[in-house]
Structure 1
């Protein structure tokens, strides 16, 4: 009876150890992610520039300008904190991309890609990257 418990414990430990090995994402998936990330950042930068232009052109520009300046100060602080945590964030991102590619991409990859392509059409109208 004790041998059965030991065998079950060994098998459970092997399964848990195999789950700890996180695969690295492929270069293709990493490149696709980096492309989407850079495009999204460009969209945000362009939207921010348009917001600044609209604020400077409006009559109530002073109040809005103060709001934009405070948002910009918060963004600088967040960027400073983000630069210190960059290695941890990169490792976590790589792990999540590897898990996604190994376990989820075969099942939801095509529909997710199609959904992102449909969303890009609307984002190009509302928040263009150029």
Structure 2
């Protein structure tokens, strides 16, 4: 039921946005956004690899016990079920369909931010990101 409301809201927003002129984002703003996004993904991947390296030996020890072996076997059985594979295929298809909409929404939001909000809060937001980057480099580095 919530999915129906979400789709209706997205369609209503698309209609309302298509009725008004949305300014295109500046090239500099898009480049800055892409740089922040790539560094953010690098930070997430680095944190995930560190977490995986820390948890890996613990999971191996758990897998040696009888209960852990049962849980491992259950997980492998779930991966091989055709129902789960069909659901995964549907989710991948939906993700491919939604990707252009997400790109258009991102471009629209960057254009709106650049035109209306950036003159008022751009410097403050940039300074805040630079201050946060110091702590992120310390606790969650990108490399």
TM-score normalised by length of structure 1: 0.69
Q: Which of the pair has more CA radius of gyration?
A: 1
1:119 corresponds to 2:125? no
Structure 1 residue aligned with 2:48? 48
Aligned length: 103
Structure 2: where are the runs of 5+ without partners?
A: 1-15, 80-87
Asked if structure 2 preserves the Cα contact closer than 8 Å seen for 1:22 and 1:98, the reply is yes
Asked if structure 2 preserves the Cα contact closer than 8 Å seen for 1:46 and 1:129, the reply is yes
Aligned 1:1-130 pairs, distance under 5 A: 20-58=20-58, 62=63, 80=92, 81-130=94-143
TM-score normalised by length of structure 2: 0.63
| Deviations 1:2-21, CA, capped at 9 Å, x for gaps | xxxxxxxxxxxxxx99x810
Q: Which runs of 4+ in 1 moved over 2 A?
A: 57-63, 79-84
Structure 1: where are the runs of 5+ without partners?
A: 1-15
